[in-house]
Structure 1
Amino acid sequence: MNTAELLADAFGRVQEDVHGAVDRLTADELAEPVEPGANTVAWLVWHLTRVQDDHVAEVAGREQVWTADGWHGRLGLPFRPAATGFGHGPQQVAQVRVDDPALLTGYFDAVHAATLEYVKGLRNADLDRIVDERWDPPVSLGARLVSVINDDTQHAGQAAFIRGVLLRRR
């Protein structure tokens, strides 16, 4: 297995987890917190997708799918286009509502496709390239991609847990 295949496999597992977390939930359930002020499946999936879109677009040197493909308008969320969910509190979490769950997974799938398009050309040596010098030590491409996968996996797991709670409440 080479670098590109490894990354594609990891991002593919995130895609499976995201679809599993959203599967069979209604629009209302996607926006339902398990307790007041808690994150929702909709917010978690939107946030993890926005972070992946933002971070991969930056290292790939391309515009984010969110704006390039019109997902910002399609989802119609009340946030500025650059918002990724970092720093959101309960009020912003509650504003992430989608009429059709397929919109949420559609945006994720579009970001996933763009991510795979980028990683398919990566080689081992590419992972050492410094992509962010604002940190000490500076962040390499490999560390950035692993960070995105880690963040995505955690949030997808949280969304799957919430999904389980919501389905038991039915």
Structure 2
Amino acid sequence: MKANELLLDGFGRIREIVATTLEGIDPEALARRLGDHTNPIAWLVWHLGRGEDAQVAAAAGLEQVWTSQGFAGRFDLPLPDQDTGYGHTRSQVDAVQAPPELLLAYYDAVHRQTVEFLASLSDEDLDRVVDTRWKPPVTLGVRLVSILADCLQHAGQAAYVKGAGAATVTG
């Protein structure tokens, strides 16, 4: 197995979790918080999509799907177009509202761009330094694993919130 095939599998798992989490979900569940310091599903899915979009686009030298495919306008959030959710306040988190179909459409578009980029990579490409601000400098491979880990965590959090909310509502 080539390294990019392993990354493709990992990013594919994010897509599966996102789709399963959004399947059959209602607007109330998308906005539900399990506690005062937790994030709702809508924000978690939007944020993981924005994070993957911004970071993969930067690494690949591409425009972000968020702006290039008009998702910033379709979501119409009271946030700057470059916002990815990092460091959001509670009110900013609460401002991220969207129907599940739009959340999935955005993530699917991000996923397609990620897959196209990953499919084009060789093992040698993964050794390219993409960030010299760290010691040691960050390679493309390390950056992609970092994005993968972050997105998997957020996808798992969203799935957990859905499951815990269903348990709370139904019994």
Indicate the percent of aligned positions where both proteins have the same amino acid. 47
Conservation of the 8 A alpha-carbon contact between 1:50 and 1:66: yes
Alpha-carbon shift at residue 29 of structure 1 (Å): 1.3
- 1:10 aligns to what? 10
Relative to the length of structure 1, the TM-score reads: 0.96
Q: Quote the offset at 1:4 in angstroms.
A: 2.3
Instruction: Give the distance between the partners of 2:36 and 2:59, measured in 1 at CA.
Output: 37
Give the residue type in structure 1 aligned to 2:35.
Answer: E
Number of the residue aligned with 2:70 = 70
1:28 CA drift (Å): 2.2
The aligned residue for residue 30 of structure 2 is: 30
Contact 1:8/1:116, CA 8 A, preserved across alignment? yes
The correspondence of residues 20-169 of structure 1 with structure 2, limited to 5 A, is 20-98=20-98, 100-168=99-167, 169=169
Where 1:81 maps in the other structure, the secondary structure is coil
Unaligned runs of 5+ in 2: none
CA distance in 2, matches of 1:36, 1:86: 18
Q: Is the 8 A contact 1:57 1:64 kept in 2?
A: yes
3-state SS of the aligned residue for 1:86?
coil
Question: Cα RMSD (Å) of the superposition?
Answer: 1.0
**Per-residue deviation, residues 85-136 of structure 1 (Å, max 9, x unmatched):** 10012111111111x2110010000000000000001111111100011222
Distance 1:63 1:54 in 2: 8
Query: Is contact 1:38–1:90 with CA below 8 Å preserved after alignment?
Result: no
SS in 1 for 2:124: helix
TM-score (structure 2 length as normaliser): 0.95
Q: Unmatched 5+ residue regions in structure 1?
A: none
Give a deviation string over 1:11-43, Cα, whole Å, max 9, x none.
001100111222221122101111234200011
Q: How big is the shift at 1:142?
A: 0.3
